[in-house]
Each structure stands twice: as C-alpha cells, then as structure tokens.
Chain A
C-alpha cells in the first residue's frame, strides 16, 4: 500500500489540521502572558481582570463583559501599553494560530489547486453509500484531497524542487464538470456569495460570532474568519469556463469496486464515457488529461486475494496509474473504537452551501484504517501521478509552443503581427494565414479557442505552471500570450491573462517590488478589470480579480498597501460587493492601512496610516450596526479604538467635536442593540443586567464630560491665576502621567 519512494510523512501543515493549531496556541499563550505580565507592573491587576472578563463566548458571559469596555483612561492606557497581551488573551484558542500575510497567500495558492475529476462505477458508489456517504465515492474522498498528507515536492521548469506543506487538489464530480454550464444560472454567483455570508452570520449567531469577534480584535496581522470565509467563497464561486483552465480536470479518477462482476470491461466502459460518452467534456476542455484507475476493495465482504489478482491485472493493462484502495464497507459510528471524524470540506462553492451540502444531518465518521487508506491513496495520486504528469506537460508545452514564441524569431513574428495589425486595413487579408493581426484561431461565435490552438495551449501551460506554483514561468507565459488575446478581441481571455499575470507576479516571492513593477501590476489589473466588467460584464471574475489584487498587494507591504486600498475602494464604489461585502471590504481597507507601518517611533513615526485605519474601522462598525450585528460592530469599534490610541490624547477624546459625538452615539447605539439582542435571548438577564449597565453607561459619559470640562478649565487656569505663564501644558501632563509613559513607550 505505501509507496516505496514515499517521503516520510511529515506533520501536516499548520494551516489545515484541526488538531495542531489548538495545541500550538495553547503552547503559545501562556508564554506570552508570562512574558508580558511582569512588564505591566502596577497595571497588571487591571490586565488580569481583562483576561478574566474578555474570553470568547460573549452572550453567555457575565454583565462585566460588555460589548464595549468602559472607556476609562486607565483601560485605554493599558490597551495601548500592552497590545501584545490583549491580542493574545482575546484570541480564541481555535483561531489563534499564526496568521499573517502568509496565511492569505497560502489560501490563494490553494484556491488554485489542480482539479481532479472523480468518476466511479455504480457498484463503488453503492459500497460507499453503505458507509453513510450519500454522494458516493466522490463525497468520501473529497475532503481528503484538500489536504495532501505530508510535503509535496514540485519541480519547477528549471528543475529545482520546492516542497509545499499545504498542497492539495480539488476533487470534483465528473458529471458536475460536464454540465456545469446549464445550472447555477438562476442567480449570479455573487448574489449567492452574499446570501451564503448572510446565512452564515445569522445561523451561527452564537458560535460563530463568538469565534469571529475576538478574531477581529486580534489586530492588524490577523484576518477575521468571516472574511476568510468570504474569500474562499469568492474564489470557488466562478463556474467552469473556457477562458481559464483552473477548473478543467487535470486528471480523472476512475473507480470500480471489488463487487464488480466484470471489472475490466466496466473500466473500459468508464474510460470510454470520459472520452466520448455522455460524460464527454465540453469542446473547450483539453481532452488530454490523466486517467487514474482505482480498485476499491471491500475489506468486510470480499476476498483480498481476488482483489490483488485483479489489481495486478489492472496494472498490466493500464500501467502505473493504478491504486488498490482497501475500505471497510460497514458504517462507522461514533461509539466505535477507532472512529475518526471526517474533516469538513473547505472549498464548498456558494451554490453547494446554499443547497446545504456541508450540513449533513449526522456528522460522518470513518474507521481509522479507512482514513489512513484514503490519505495514502490521495498522496500517491497527487505526488506520483498528477504532479509528474503536470510537470511533464509543462515541460513539453514550454518546449514546443512557448519557447518558439519566446525566441528571437517569435518576437519578430509577434512584432510584425502587431504592425500589420496597425496597418491600414490589411488585417483581413492575413487573417486566415495565421500571421496577420488576428490569428484566426478564436471562435468568435462560440467565444473560445479550440484546445489545440497555440493560444489555448499557452494559457493551459501558464495555468499548469500556476497550479504547480511556478509563478515565474506562469507570469512570463501570461505576459507572452496576453496581447494575442487582445488582438483577437477575445476579451474574457484577455482579462483572464492580465489578471493572472498580475497575480502570479505578486505571488512570486522573488519579484522586485520596485515602483515601476507595481505600476505595471496596477496597469494590468486595470486592464483586467476593464475587460471583465465593461467588455464581458462578468462581475464575479471582476470582483475576484480585485480581491486577489487587494490581498496580494497588502501582503507585499510598503507602498503597495496604498494601491491595495485604492482597489478596495474601487470595488466598493463600482458596487461589486453587497451590503455585507461592503463591510468586509471596509474592514479590509482598515487592515491595509493598519499594516502600513511607519519608520521611526512614537510621535516621529513617519508614514503610518493609523488615522485612516481607525476611520475605516469606525465605518465598518457603523455598517455592522446597521446590519444589526452589534457584536461584530463592537469588535470593529474596539479595533478602531486600538488604532486611534496612538494618535489621540490618552484620554481618548477626539479633538474634533463632531467625530467625538458620532463615536459616542455609535458606542451607545451598539450597546443598546447588543443588550436588546441579549434581552431577547435570555429574559432573566434583561431585568438584572440592564439597570446596572445603564448606570454604568451614564457613569462613563459623565466621566467623559468631566474630562472635557476639566480640560477647558485647565486652559482657563493660566488666565486667572498665572497670567504670565506661557505654557499651560505642564499642568496637563502632571495630571495625565500615564499618557506620558505611553507617549514615550509607543
């Protein structure tokens, strides 16, 4: 079963397995707490109370756990002194793993994983259904494909190997690929994404908000889980289309079971179906994909010697791309000794979410041996068949098609092409010969290139390189081919090539981040956007393009974050995102600005964007409130306070009166709505808690008023008592010593 040349199983990537982060975070947090608490000194008791009051479940907590903490100057100074502490204690243990730009980059890279179609015989599906998986073999193996066990080594075009911990493939139902075009047109994918988001927010009011809220508070390097959810939805929303081959199957798993009476014949039949039967691919899909044959052996009922014999026969017939998968056919229940919970699918498309694919009534369980068998199978499939196949194709296509174009003569040809394109009306005379401005390969009526034309192959080469994470090759190939699409007026291809060219440039860790480079990227994004939105009116891909741009530019840091915010505002302005998307993007703009760190320190810090970040967080809070999500709103507002802490006086009063009153009103409204929601949930709370809370609220405001009149009176002091004094500030400073500390420490 285990393959001989297999690398020893490395521990699963941190971004996947549900067990690991929990352990890691547990290990991390006590450390940090220990580290930071001595430094706190006198304020540690305050911090301690924060640790006690703030952890996750907000609705079941005591009255001390207000959505907004009492905004006393003390609490604020604690917050600004110990961002580290608040961040670590507030993080929910589940999501508290390392999160940063790498996380998002990995998510984006995994979104563009190779697609492997699954086509199982009826008897195999029957066997799997007995185990409790209604969708058959595909549903059984699907979650395991998203997380290939261990490190996957991929060679790039030069032959240098890179190991990826987080590699995966997407298993799809072959039938789904074939007829993907007809269904799903009832509502646009974007509307579906929005609906799913809405549903997710509403349905999971208690548990999810609990996990979302603290995560939002985590601070600038983190990404809220709801935003990641949105990102995953968006990236898996676009249907199979002709202009990009990411969703075209790279391989097809053909499965039969040991129950089959005529195994070889049925394998042949299945193969025939995939190439020209009713499961034939649409004409724009390259028909040359890998076939992988699987024999599912029923451990409980059938004889292994028979199956081994059959498997040997299969190997003789079909070559190396075979696997014997030994599964038990009995259904596994929780109470069994070695039951393992089946992982959840990470990459469900929005329409699947709406159909409720994810929520099966009973959580499926599998035997440990089954899980091991499937994991081994997936690893062998990916590491020994799919990736070598793709590497091989990339090398061949690069050799045969791309390098010819890249060479000197190729350049001349494209140059001459371009000139004839400009030349007065000479296009039509050249069109048929393939050397004119228009290649003639584009089928304008149906809107696609045939899969064997050089343009389509180049695109496929670039996509393969992208999926193999050889972003340098993919960027150069997209660049090679993008002008051809423009000449042919294949606008969707044109947009896609520009989009992916920019994305692979940004993903390539070695690419230069110079100003000119960023400008070319911006230019390409602009073109892609224009082509998607104006020429094709394809909002889904347009939004995907912009979102990818935002995230990757943000992860670049520096001046790239500025253009990330520009694209985010653009997306909001065009109206690509719905009401919830609008909020998420506002939060994202805030995160972008917050991630821009300035040079120097303290007041002399240059180039940070704290005020802008704070402003966008406040807007996000306001929008959450308008969408009746007070818990999320309070999280955003708290984030805003954290961001503003550096730029405001330590008493946290905005210098501008209207801003201050707006924020006060917002805070109040959030509290009212939050208590309202809670009062509806638990009646016994409402009577007990609202009264003291009200007094607390009034206390707080009065305190604030105090503060301000205090200031004004301070300003008045020199007038009356000490008219000669030039500097009233020292008085203020004495009164606000914590501010002074903060000021120096920040």
Chain B
C-alpha cells in the first residue's frame, strides 16, 4: 500500500505533501506507486480531480472525516478526505500494491502507462510486499478496518496540524515547512497505516 498525503488550502493550493508506504506487516515505509517515477504528477491530478467529490460530499453529513470518497479506477487509487475548520482539507490517496495476477490482464502495457493500469516495474517491486501485507489493512482499501485506520491517522495529523498552524512563525496560507510536523506525520503514518 502506498500513500500520498496532501493538505490543501481553501484555494486548492497545496500546503503540505508527503508520500510514504505502509509500515505494517513488513513494509519498509517507501511509497511504490503504479506510475513511473516520471509520472508523479498523476497523484496530484487524481487528488485535484477528487476535489469535485469533496465539494459535493462535505455537505452530506456532519463529520469532519468524509471516509473514502473517490476512486480512480485505472490506477486503483482511493481517496479519503478530512475537513478542518479553517477550510483546509486533508486528502489521502492510497493505492494497494499491484498484485502479480492483475498485471497480466492489463493488456497493452506500453501505451497505457500514463493511465497507470499496469506499470511493470512497480508490479515487480510491489508484488512481494503485496503478498506480505495481504492480511493487513492494505488488502482492501474500502474495508471498515482501513476506514478506521485512516480516521485515526487523520485525527492525529489534525491535532499536529492545529498546533503547527498556531505557531507564531507560521502564516495562514503558506506552505508548512516545519520539519517537526513532517516527522510527526511520518510517525502517524507509521503508527496507523
């Protein structure tokens, strides 16, 4: 399972980005997305496009944590969202590792690498960890356990975010550069995801 976590300002500008992999069940905490390294913009595209859904879903119930709201099927990317009082939004993209079986049905690999349906290198890399983590939350991104884990993660990040934003050296709307915050997000990711 690979994660891409973003905090977006109310005007959709990114305040904070981090990519990490799962640390559960033997994961090494390194993100392996299904896109080639040159196509990391895909994560941002997917997250940006899911704002459409966030804007719709934020009125649907009273919770701050919106759960899993959107999917990008070609890359099996799942988006969970969390709202904050200041209008900033936490978006977490999670992508289960590519299983060896699915890569064979991917069809024409070469042309579709952009769509991310089958990227062979990550299939090889992610395959081993995929088998290892099949029992953990990575197995099913829409399972209740996963939702719960993401909720815990979001809450912990939220607490840290509030404290970071309260810092006198931070101005609202600017990018969060605090290394402490980054370390805490990483720790939360390690703890829950």
User: Does A573 reach chain B (CB closer than 8 Å)?
Assistant: yes
Q: Are B52 and A611 in contact (CB under 8 A)?
A: yes
A579 to B44, CA, bound (A): 24
Residue of B with least CB distance to A663: B41
Query: A residues within 8 A CB of B13?
Result: 655-656
Q: Which of B12, B105, B108, B111 contacts A626 (CB 8 A)?
A: B111
Query: B residues within 8 A CB of A608?
Result: 52
Query: A residues within 8 A CB of B114?
Result: 619, 622-623, 626
Q: Are A610 and B52 also in contact (CB < 8 A) when A655-B13, A656-B14, A662-B41 are?
A: yes
Q: Are B117 and A572 in contact (CB under 8 A)?
A: yes
Query: B residues within 8 A CB of A573?
Result: 73-74, 106-107, 117
Query: Interface 1/0s, chain B 64-99, versus A by CB < 8 A?
Result: 000000000110000000000000000000000000
Q: Are A659 and B56 in contact (CB under 8 A)?
A: no
Query: B residues within 8 A CB of A607?
Result: 56
Other contacts beyond A606-B55, A626-B114: 19, CB < 8 A: A569-B73, A573-B74, A574-B105, A582-B111, A582-B112, A607-B56, A611-B48, A612-B49, A614-B49, A619-B114, A623-B114, A626-B111, A647-B51, A655-B13, A656-B14, A657-B14, A658-B40, A658-B41, A661-B41
Q: Are B115 and A572 in contact (CB under 8 A)?
A: yes
Query: B residues within 8 A CB of A658?
Result: 40-41, 44
Query: B residues within 8 A CB of A574?
Result: 105, 107
Query: How far, in Å, is A504 (CB) from chain B's closest CB?
Result: 27
User: Does A525 reach chain B (CB closer than 8 Å)?
Assistant: no
Q: Are A578 and B108 in contact (CB under 8 A)?
A: yes
Query: How far, in Å, is A491 (CB) from chain B's closest CB?
Result: 20
Residue of B with least CB distance to A608: B52
Query: Interface 1/0s, chain A 44-66, versus B by CB < 8 A?
Result: 00000000000000000000000
Residue of A with least CB distance to B55: A606
Query: B residues within 8 A CB of A570?
Result: 73
Query: A residues within 8 A CB of B59?
Result: 606
User: Does A618 reach chain B (CB closer than 8 Å)?
Assistant: yes
User: Does A426 reach chain B (CB closer than 8 Å)?
Assistant: no
Q: Which of A586, A619, A659, A661 contacts B48 (CB 8 A)?
A: A659
Query: How far, in Å, is B99 (CB) from chain A's closest CB?
Result: 14
> Considering the complex, which residues of chain B in the window 141-174 have a beta carbon less than 8 Å from any beta carbon of chain A?
171, 173-174
Q: Which of B52, B73, B117, B173 has the most CB of A within 10 A?
A: B52
Query: Interface 1/0s, chain B 1-26, versus A by CB < 8 A?
Result: 00000001101111000000000000
Q: Are A566 and B14 in contact (CB under 8 A)?
A: no
Q: Are B49 and A611 in contact (CB under 8 A)?
A: yes
A570 to B117, CA, bound (A): 11
Interface residues of B (CB under 8 A from A): 8-9, 11-14, 40-41, 44-52, 55-56, 59, 73-74, 105-108, 111-112, 114-115, 117, 171, 173-174
Q: Which of A579, A618, A661 contacts B108 (CB 8 A)?
A: A579
Residue of A with least CB distance to B59: A606
Query: How far, in Å, is A197 (CB) from chain B's closest CB?
Result: 14
Q: Which of B44, B50, B106 contacts A656 (CB 8 A)?
A: B44
User: Does A719 reach chain B (CB closer than 8 Å)?
Assistant: yes
A622 to B41, CA, bound (A): 13
Query: B residues within 8 A CB of A715?
Result: 173-174
Query: B residues within 8 A CB of A612?
Result: 49, 52
Q: Are A719 and B171 also in contact (CB < 8 A) when A579-B108, A582-B112, A659-B44 are?
A: yes
The 9 closest A-B pairs by CB, nearest first: A575-B107, A655-B13, A658-B41, A662-B41, A656-B44, A612-B49, A579-B111, A615-B49, A569-B73
Query: How far, in Å, is B92 (CB) from chain A's closest CB?
Result: 16
A574 to B115, CA, bound (A): 12
How many of chain A's residues have a CB under 8 angstroms from any CB in B?
39
Query: B residues within 8 A CB of A622?
Result: 114
A618 to B112, CA, bound (A): 14
A286 to B115, CA, bound (A): 46
Query: B residues within 8 A CB of A654?
Result: 48
Q: Are A566 and B73 in contact (CB under 8 A)?
A: yes
Query: A residues within 8 A CB of B108?
Result: 575, 578-579, 582
A611 to B59, CA, bound (A): 19
Q: Are B51 and A572 in contact (CB under 8 A)?
A: no
User: Does A649 reach chain B (CB closer than 8 Å)?
Assistant: yes
Residue of A with least CB distance to B14: A656
A614 to B107, CA, bound (A): 25
Q: Are A655 and B73 also in contact (CB < 8 A) when A574-B107, A611-B52 are?
A: no
User: Does A74 reach chain B (CB closer than 8 Å)?
Assistant: no
Query: How far, in Å, is A159 (CB) from chain B's closest CB?
Result: 46
Query: B residues within 8 A CB of A626?
Result: 111, 114
Query: Interface 1/0s, chain A 576-607, versus B by CB < 8 A?
Result: 10110010001000000000000000000011
Q: Are B105 and A575 in contact (CB under 8 A)?
A: yes
Q: Are A649 and B11 in contact (CB under 8 A)?
A: yes
Query: How far, in Å, is A553 (CB) from chain B's closest CB?
Result: 16
Query: A residues within 8 A CB of B55?
Result: 606
Query: How far, in Å, is A649 (CB) from chain B's closest CB?
Result: 7
Q: Which of A609, A619, A656, A661 contacts B115 (CB 8 A)?
A: A619
26 A-B contacts, Cβ less than 8 Å apart? A566-B73, A569-B73, A570-B73, A573-B73, A573-B74, A574-B105, A575-B105, A575-B108, A578-B108, A579-B108, A606-B56, A607-B56, A611-B49, A611-B52, A612-B49, A612-B52, A614-B49, A615-B48, A626-B114, A655-B9, A656-B48, A658-B40, A658-B41, A662-B45, A715-B173, A728-B173
Query: A residues within 8 A CB of B44?
Result: 656, 658-659
Q: Are B105 and A609 in contact (CB under 8 A)?
A: no
Query: A residues within 8 A CB of B73?
Result: 566, 569-570, 573
Query: How far, in Å, is A351 (CB) from chain B's closest CB?
Result: 22
A582 to B44, CA, bound (A): 22
Q: Are A609 and B41 also in contact (CB < 8 A) when A569-B74, A572-B74 are?
A: no
